[in-house]
């Protein structure tokens, strides 16, 4: 149920219901962070393991401070530069945040979303929101209200248009005076380093459930997906299958063996590719294909983030 009525959405949240929340990254399935029943319902509705923690969305830096024991100097520096925005920070939680939200960990993931409707909503509420992506566990993330409605037609979704970033937030933590990259996301590692200097990259050294969105298989369509630098080469192994190819910036060669070709970023800009990624996967997933082949992006900047999402979608 799609709506633009923020008052209705507030009423739903105050009554302990779940709602679809627009953000600049992807749409979230949101609930009152302090309502344990509603938080449990998020896990049940998404069929998400309770070992996978949730991100808390707040209206301000001051509200974020009320949820944590410490706010390191570099966290303050990053918050002032990138909040509101697609940066999630892992900070030591205080007792106000339940163990259910953090999957029994002593740290909580927090960010301020950079979306006018989300910020307007958060500023009208007396509580922050937990809001993992509004999709069944492991399925393609939603970047429009229509995507959310297709997954969860009985839930009210606040329509905020198409998401501008199109991929989930970057996650960082802190080790002493060092900033640590924990998940690639909508802000590239290079951009963060321009702010705080060199950061440590721990993205390959984490257990799959210790952070949001880090399971080996995630973001997946219903059919098989392959990621490769040479999409047409993969056709040699495909026989009598309905195939769609998702190209990075242009269709290299047309083939009679391909049912549909889509292009992520005609401009060749990875920012455009990120914005269009999940919407393109939804489009292909709705075409009843047997196989989706995706062209891998150059491995720098947001290309690393997009390749990460594609590799998880392709994981069997």
Tell me what pLDDT residue 211 has.
Answer: 66
Q: What is the pLDDT of residue 270?
A: 94
Terminal C-alpha separation, the chain: 33
The superfamily (CATH) of domain 2-164 is DHBP synthase (3.90.870.10)
Residue 212 pLDDT = 63
Output the tens digit of pLDDT for each of the chain's 316 residues.
999 999 999 999 999 999 999 999 999 999 999 999 999 999 999 999 988 999 999 999 999 999 999 999 999 999 999 999 999 999 999 999 999 999 999 999 999 999 999 999 999 999 999 999 999 998 999 999 999 999 999 999 999 999 999 999 999 999 988 999 999 999 999 999 998 889 988 887 554 456 665 555 567 788 889 999 988 887 776 777 899 999 999 998 777 788 899 999 999 999 999 999 999 999 999 999 999 999 999 998 899 999 999 998 888 7
- The β-bridge partners of 241 are none
* Contact in structure between 56 and 156 (CB atoms under 8 Å): no
CA–CA distance, 19 with 282 (Å, rounded to integer): 21
Determine the pLDDT at residue 219.
72
Question: Tens of pLDDT along 118-134?
Answer: 999 999 999 999 999 99
Q: Which CATH number fits domain 224-314: 3.40.50.970, 3.30.70.3270, 3.40.50.11030, 1.20.1050.10?
A: 3.40.50.11030
Burial of 105 by CB count in 10 Å (0-12 exposed, 13-18 middle, 19+ buried)? middle
Whole-structure pTM value: 0.90
Task: Please choose, from the candidates 3, 37, 43, 34, the residue with its C-alpha nearest in 3D space to the C-alpha of residue 17.
Answer: 37
- Please report, for the chain, the start and end positions of each structural domain, with discontinuous segments joined by +: 2-164, 224-314
The answer to whether 83 and 112 have CB atoms below 8 angstroms apart is: yes
How many CB atoms are closer than 10 A to CB 268? 12
Residues 304 and 311 sit within 8 Å (Cβ to Cβ): no
């Amino acid at each position: 149920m799609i709506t633009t009525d923020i008052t209705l959405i507030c009423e739903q949240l105050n009554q302990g219901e779940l709602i679809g929340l627009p953000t600049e990254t992807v749409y979230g399935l949101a609930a009152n962070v302090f309502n344990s029943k509603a938080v449990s319902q998020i896990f049940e509705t998404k069929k998400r393991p309770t070992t996978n923690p949730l991100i808390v969305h707040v209206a301000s830096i001051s509200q974020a401070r009320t949820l944590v024991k410490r706010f390191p100097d570099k966290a303050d520096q990053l918050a002032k530069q990138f909040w509101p925005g697609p940066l999630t920070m892992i900070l030591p939680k205080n007792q106000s945040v339940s163990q259910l939200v953090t999957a029994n960990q002593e740290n909580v993931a927090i960010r301020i979303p950079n979306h006018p409707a989300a910020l307007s909503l958060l500023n009208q509420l007396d509580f922050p929101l937990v809001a993992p992506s509004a999709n069944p566990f492991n399925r393609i993330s939603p970047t429009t209200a229509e995507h959310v409605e297709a997954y969860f037609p009985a839930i009210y979704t606040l329509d905020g248009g198409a998401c501008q970033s199109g991929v989930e937030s970057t996650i960082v933590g802190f080790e002493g005076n060092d900033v640590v990259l924990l998940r690639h996301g909508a802000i590239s590692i290079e951009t963060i380093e321009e702010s705080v200097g060199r950061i440590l990259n721990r993205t390959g050294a984490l257990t799959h459930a210790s952070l949001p969105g880090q399971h080996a298989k995630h973001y997946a369509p219903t059919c098989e997906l392959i990621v490769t630098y040479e999409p047409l080469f993969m056709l040699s192994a495909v026989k009598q299958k309905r195939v769609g190819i998702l190209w990075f910036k242009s269709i290299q060669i047309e083939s009679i063996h391909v049912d549909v070709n889509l292009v992520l970023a005609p401009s060749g800009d990875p920012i455009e590719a990120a914005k269009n990624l999940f919407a393109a996967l939804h489009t292909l997933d709705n075409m009843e294909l047997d196989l989706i082949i995706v062209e891998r992006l150059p491995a720098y900047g947001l290309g690393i983030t997009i390749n990460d999402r594609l590799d998880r979608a392709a994981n069997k």
